[in-house]
Amino acid sequence: MCCCSISCVKCFLYFLDVLFLLSGIGLFITGIHVLVGVTSGAYASLLPNISYMYAAYILIIIGIFIVIVAIVGCVAAVREGVCCLLTFYFMVVIVICLEVSAIIIAFAGLHMRGDMSSYVSASMKRGLYYYQDENHAEMKTAWDTLQQEVECCGVNSPTDWEVTGGFPPGIVPNSCCNGPEGACTSHYMEGCEDYILMELQDWLTLIGVVCIIFVIIQILLVWFILILFFKLHRGSKYCCGCGVYSSVKDHD
């Protein structure tokens, strides 16, 4: 039965620590990517400040924290200090807890489509209301960009421009038109809300999936931290196959 020496465990720990560091960078990039995509897009002013999006902020904080923790882990493995390993262990556990909270927030958002839809609808209708207001030019730009790119019109239908936007009956912005340029002979009939909801759900899914992958890596890291800790603490060999310790001293 093969037993793991300290040097073997340390090699695995170094490898997992590198993966841990990369996961921190990955989480940071994912958080930035989501925030830029959701809050800085061409029609970001139409999006509500949904609390689920705070999961992206959590990812950024976790990413920065992981980089610091990974450095501590490398020092702990090199020095083989029990206190350093314990510190590393608890810091990784904290990271896992934070990531689990991000997963819960993300998937809670996916399962609360009704609430999300009401927030999105209210925010988009606010944009309709201020479309013709010169003091809110960003709303006009956002709506025109959204309708031209997605080929949609209004929140749920073109009639939203009459009911909420203050347009005369049967009249819609030129960005709704799908006819020749300069002649609005026909317009898009589908609303834009479903597209926005799909975009937000895609971001939430990305957050949840990325966190799950990295949590799995970090659980493996915790396992090897504990193996090395008990080997150093007891001065014995850890048996990989059976998960118990022998009383033989490790001379590696």
Residues 6+ apart with CB under 8 A from 114: none
Going from the C-alpha of 143 to that of each of 41, 191, 212, 251, 252, the distances in angstroms are 12, 12, 35, 70, 67
Query: CA-to-CA distance for 127 and 5, rounded, in angstroms?
Result: 64
How far is residue 156's CA from residue 122's CA, in Å, rounded to a whole number? 11
Q: pTM of the prediction?
A: 0.68
Quote the pLDDT of residue 136: 81
CA 108, CA 57: separation in Å to the nearest integer?
Answer: 16
Write the single-letter amino acid at 200: L
Residue 243 is predicted with a pLDDT of 37
Place of tokens 């029990």: 82
Structure tokens, 156: 């749920």
**Whole-angstrom Cα distance, residue 86 to residue 77?**
11
User: According to the model, what pLDDT value does residue 130 have?
Assistant: 86
Closest CA to 195 of 120, 106, 126: 120
Mean pLDDT by 10 residues, the chain (252 residues): 58 77 86 74 68 73 87 73 75 87 82 78 86 84 88 89 84 81 75 86 84 87 79 53 39 42
Distances (CA, A) of 139 to 42, 46, 68, 75, 128: 10, 7, 41, 52, 8
Q: What are residue 130's phi and psi, to 5 degrees?
A: -95, 10
Q: How many residues does this entry show for the chain?
A: 252
Q: Give the domain ranges of the chain.
A: 3-114+200-239
- For residue 206, what are its two tokens? 């990305």
Tokens coding 222: 């915790």
Q: Which two tokens stand for residue 75?
A: 């020092």
